[in-house]
């Protein structure tokens, strides 16, 4: 009986102890809960938000660049970037070897970058941006297998150029943040540029966004831009130029094609080129040079039509005047101007057909040097283009006050003056467009172009007719296009080096327009340092013919040979 009473007393004691223990534990928990949620609620809520709430960017795409027919030339494509909360990633430091292998980054450098971000209190750090699809896929597999934790994928936009090297010099490229670095990407950066938005999200313990809280700012998409370029003509020009440079063993080449009336650039290409989609190719300075706007050259005989036009415009000569070029040598001070042979007495048309340096010099010397300079100045030689293009240069044309009689003579046939391929094309528009020189435009124009009158319409047509003879029966025969009249001028210049001219290094040029009776387009072809053949009529003229023939068909320009053969047109052009 006594044993039973003692057992009940022991049980009651243990029960009371346990009840008392749980009562004290409950009181401790209540006090702790009051401590956390009452006295320090704001602090711990803030700490929870720091660990779980993130502000993430919302990607915005850069504006698309389109050709004149709305074909895409530069687009922004969705691409993945890899990021992490550095504090979370450092809790899984054993991952750095595998993560570095997948992202193709040295694990030690990756750890240093993450540690630096954590030390600076950052909750967001890019591990690698704009990763190729194969790397994104490999990372995704590792995440699914729980081999990689605390790493997230974010969508951004990367710039892509469908035509690659064909439009590289024209369009340029952007950096990884989408800012224009070269070409039209840089020129029109303010218009094309976008601004990312931002959102606040809740993340899990691994840093993955699991819930949107609020939209902080909307993304601002970039504006689209319609260019003057015709993608088909651009491709045609690049193909023919590339082939010509390779076949002639040349160092480089450039082609510019303009709308003769509006000054719109239909194509601008250079070779060698580079692929702007490959970051590794963006360091080749020689391939990246847009030689059509950054390199100057002496225009040589392609300047002669302007010398004759100046004399006609000033009334110093008439279209039926003749110049005696015998005996093939002409002394100007201590300098001797030479022709290829003794051409005897030449008409103005024959001076262009034969490309007589003596004829051009004698015409120039009949003018006051300031008169000739004024005409060339109106054509824009030596002046920067109104159109801003990265790296574009102005060329050189000293003021007439510094001209000697020798300089006055040599300028008339393209020595002692320098220009770019693009600017030479603009100057030729003054002849193609009946004396009105338009401003250069890389955007498609919907209204009338801005123009400046350089020559009267009558003078421009007379000179155009003379240039047509250059192609019909002169030095530019290989520029002829079946079914179309062509007006043009060949040019072959020695390359200047060390203050003199190299005997065996040349620049081959052809400048022309078609149809000659009512020009639709102008094309300038320049081939630098061809091997073997080097005359402009042999090297550059055939390239012109192939490019312009294709471009005329692309633009649906009707053949005009029947108009040139009916007598009336020929009579007007030969006045």
> How does residue 152 score in pLDDT terms, banded at 50, 70 and 90?
confident
**pTM flag (> 0.85):** no
pLDDT in tens, 213-241: 666 767 678 899 999 999 999 999 999 99
pLDDT > 80? residue 258: yes
In order, the DSSP letters of 442-466 are SB--SSPPPEEE-S-HHHHHHHHHH
Min mean pLDDT across 71-80, 496-505, 557-566 is at 557-566
Provide the percentage of residues in the chain whose pLDDT is more than 70: 86
pLDDT > 80? residue 133: yes
Min mean pLDDT across 21-25, 171-175, 231-235, 343-347 is at 21-25
The 10 Å Cβ neighbour count of residue 115 is 15
Count Cα neighbours of 427 within 13 Å in the Cβ-side half-sphere: 29
Say what the pLDDT of residue 92 is: 83
Say what the pLDDT of residue 441 is: 94
pLDDT > 60? residue 45: no
pLDDT in tens, 341-359: 999 999 999 999 999 999 9
Residue 353: C-alpha distances to residues 229, 240, 494, 575 (Å):
32, 26, 20, 16
Residue 568: C-alpha distances to residues 20, 227, 348, 434, 463 (Å):
123, 38, 21, 18, 17
Q: 357-365 and 304-313 helices cross at what angle (nearest 10)?
A: 30
pLDDT in tens, 64-96: 999 999 999 999 888 888 888 888 888 888 888
pLDDT > 90? residue 456: yes
Min mean pLDDT across 127-131, 202-206, 241-245, 439-443 is at 202-206
pLDDT > 80? residue 288: yes
pLDDT > 80? residue 211: no
Say what the pLDDT of residue 404 is: 94
All CATH 3.40.710.10 domain ranges of the chain, comma separated, are: 231-573
pLDDT > 60? residue 206: no
Average pLDDT over residues 451-456: 96
pLDDT > 50? residue 252: yes
Most confident among 115-119, 145-149, 231-235, 558-562 (mean pLDDT)? 231-235
Q: Is 309 within 8 Å of 303 (Cβ atoms)? A: no
Host H or E run for residue 502: strand 500-514
Min mean pLDDT across 220-229, 313-322, 539-548 is at 220-229
Average pLDDT over residues 376-387: 84
Pick the CATH number of 58-226 from 1.10.10.10, 3.90.1490.10, 3.90.1310.10, 3.90.226.10: 3.90.1310.10
All CATH 3.90.1310.10 domain ranges of the chain, comma separated, are: 58-226
- Phi–psi pair at 57, nearest 5 degrees: -75, 150
Cα 55 from chain centroid (whole Å): 36
Provide the percentage of residues in the chain whose pLDDT is more than 90: 59
- The SS3 assignment for 526 reads strand
Task: Give the integer Cα–Cα distance in Å for 386 and 556.
Answer: 30
How does the average pLDDT of the chain come out, rounded?
A: 87
pLDDT > 50? residue 566: no
pLDDT > 70? residue 500: yes
Count Cα neighbours of 286 within 13 Å in the Cβ-side half-sphere: 4
Q: Is 505 within 8 Å of 524 (Cβ atoms)? A: no
Say what the pLDDT of residue 575 is: 24
Q: In the CATH scheme, what is the homologous superfamily, with its name and number, of domain 231-573?
A: DD-peptidase/beta-lactamase superfamily (3.40.710.10)
Say what the pLDDT of residue 386 is: 56
Host H or E run for residue 72: strand 72-84
pLDDT > 50? residue 534: yes
Annotated catalytic residues are 301
Say what the pLDDT of residue 213 is: 65
Say what the pLDDT of residue 225 is: 95
């Amino acid at each position: 009986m006594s044993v039973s009473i003692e057992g009940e007393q022991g049980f009651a004691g243990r029960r009371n102890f346990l009840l008392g223990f749980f009562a004290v534990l409950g009181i401790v928990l209540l006090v702790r809960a009051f401590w956390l949620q009452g006295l320090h609620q704001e602090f711990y809520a803030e700490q929870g938000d720091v660990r779980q709430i993130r502000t993430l960017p919302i990607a915005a795409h850069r504006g698309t660049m389109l050709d004149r027919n709305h074909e895409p030339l530069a687009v922004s494509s969705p691409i993945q970037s890899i990021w992490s909360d550095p504090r979370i990633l450092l809790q899984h430091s054993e991952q750095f070897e595998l993560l570095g292998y997948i992202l193709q980054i040295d694990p030690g450098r990756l750890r240093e970058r993450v540690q630096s971000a954590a030390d600076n209190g950052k909750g967001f750090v890019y591990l690698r941006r704009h990763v190729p699809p194969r790397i994104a896929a490999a990372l995704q597999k590792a995440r699914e297998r729980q081999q990689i934790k605390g790493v997230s994928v974010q969508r951004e936009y990367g710039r892509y150029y469908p035509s690659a090297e064909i439009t590289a010099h024209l369009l340029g490229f952007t950096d990884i943040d989408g800012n224009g670095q070269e070409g039209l990407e840089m020129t029109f950066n303010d218009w094309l540029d976008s601004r990312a938005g931002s959102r606040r999200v809740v993340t899990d313990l691994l840093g993955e966004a699991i819930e949107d809280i609020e939209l902080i700012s909307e993304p601002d998409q970039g504006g689209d831009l319609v260019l003057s370029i015709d993608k088909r003509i651009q491709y045609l020009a690049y193909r023919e130029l590339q082939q010509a440079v390779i076949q002639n063993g040349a160092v480089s080449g450039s082609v510019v094609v303009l709308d003769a009336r509006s000054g719109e650039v239909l194509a601008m290409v250079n070779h060698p080129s580079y692929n702007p989609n490959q970051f590794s190719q963006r360091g080749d300075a020689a391939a990246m040079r847009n030689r059509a706007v950054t390199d100057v050259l002496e225009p040589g005989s392609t300047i002669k039509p302007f010398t004759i036009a100046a004399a006609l415009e000033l009334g110093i000569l008439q279209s039926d005047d003749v110049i005696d070029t015998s005996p093939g040598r002409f002394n100007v001070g201590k300098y001797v101007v030479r022709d290829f042979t003794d051409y005897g007495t030449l008409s103005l048309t024959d001076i262009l057909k034969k490309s007589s340096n003596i004829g051009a010099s004698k015409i120039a010397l009949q003018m006051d040097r300031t008169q000739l300079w004024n005409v060339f100045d109106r054509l824009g030689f030596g002046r920067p283009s109104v159109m801003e293009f990265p790296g574009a240069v102005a060329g050189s044309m000293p003021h007439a006050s510094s001209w000697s009689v020798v300089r006055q003579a040599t300028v008339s046939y393209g020595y002692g003056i320098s220009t770019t391929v693009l600017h030479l094309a603009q100057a030729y528009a003054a002849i193609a467009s009946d004396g009105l020189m338009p401003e250069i435009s890389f955007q498609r124009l919907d209204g009338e172009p801005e123009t400046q009158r350089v020559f009267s319409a009558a003078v421009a047509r007379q000179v155009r007719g003379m240039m047509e003879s250059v192609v019909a029966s002169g030095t530019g025969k290989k520029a002829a296009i079946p079914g179309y009249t062509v007006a043009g001028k060949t040019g072959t210049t020695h390359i200047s080096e060390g203050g003199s001219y190299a005997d065996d290094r040349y620049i081959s040029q052809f400048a022309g327009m078609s149809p000659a009776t009512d020009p639709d387009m102008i094309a300038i072809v320049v081939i630098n340092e061809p091997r073997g053949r080097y005359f402009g009529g042999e090297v550059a003229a055939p390239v012109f013919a192939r490019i312009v023939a294709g471009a005329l068909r692309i633009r649906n320009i009707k053949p005009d040979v029947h108009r040139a053969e009916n007598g009336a047109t020929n009579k007007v052009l030969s006045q």
